Structure 1
Amino acid sequence: MARKYIDCREFPSASKCSVALSADSESELLEAAAQHAVSVHKHTDSPELRAQLKTMFHDGTPPVEAPRPA
């Protein structure tokens, strides 16, 4: 299975979060991303949040340089 990642730098926010998370499985990444979203960004953990997070996953590993927002 290919490594997956999610990168907060893609989503500018007031907190200027620069955390990128990666894992060998989608389920492990989803759990870590949900915990980060709740504890750092003060989101409420819900099926909707987890579904939204999954749409932000990428294959591979996070780039060293900050990605540019779409």
Structure 2
Amino acid sequence: MTRKYIDCREFPSEMKCTVSISADSEDELVNAAVQHATTVHGQKDTPEFRMEVRKAIHQGMPAA
């Protein structure tokens, strides 16, 4: 099974967040990324936002 990840550095923000989140399951990854985005960045957890998060998923591991 290939790991999947989302890298917060790909999303411009004033705080210049450097968090990368990875998981084996796409659903687990989306849930963790949405939790991070709502808690840290003040995003709203909506179906549309979750769809955007899914579009940001990459295969493998984030670059250092």
Q: TM-score, normalised by structure 1?
A: 0.88
Give the ranges of 4+ consecutive aligned residues of structure 1 lying more than 6 Å apart after TM superposition. Answer: none
Q: For residue 45 of structure 2, what is the aligned residue in structure 1?
A: 45
Where in structure 1 are there 5+ consecutive unaligned residues? 65-70
Root-mean-square deviation (CA, aligned residues, Å) is: 0.7
Aligned length, in residue pairs: 64
Q: For residue 14 of structure 1, what is the aligned residue in structure 2?
A: 14
Where in structure 2 are there 5+ consecutive unaligned residues? none
Query: How many percent of aligned residue pairs carry the same amino acid?
Result: 56
**Counterpart-to-counterpart distance in 1, 2:61 and 2:29:** 12
Q: For residue 35 of structure 1, what is the aligned residue in structure 2?
A: 35
More helix by share: 2
Q: TM-score, normalised by structure 2?
A: 0.95
Task: Please state whether the residue corresponding to 1:21 is helix, strand or coil.
Answer: strand
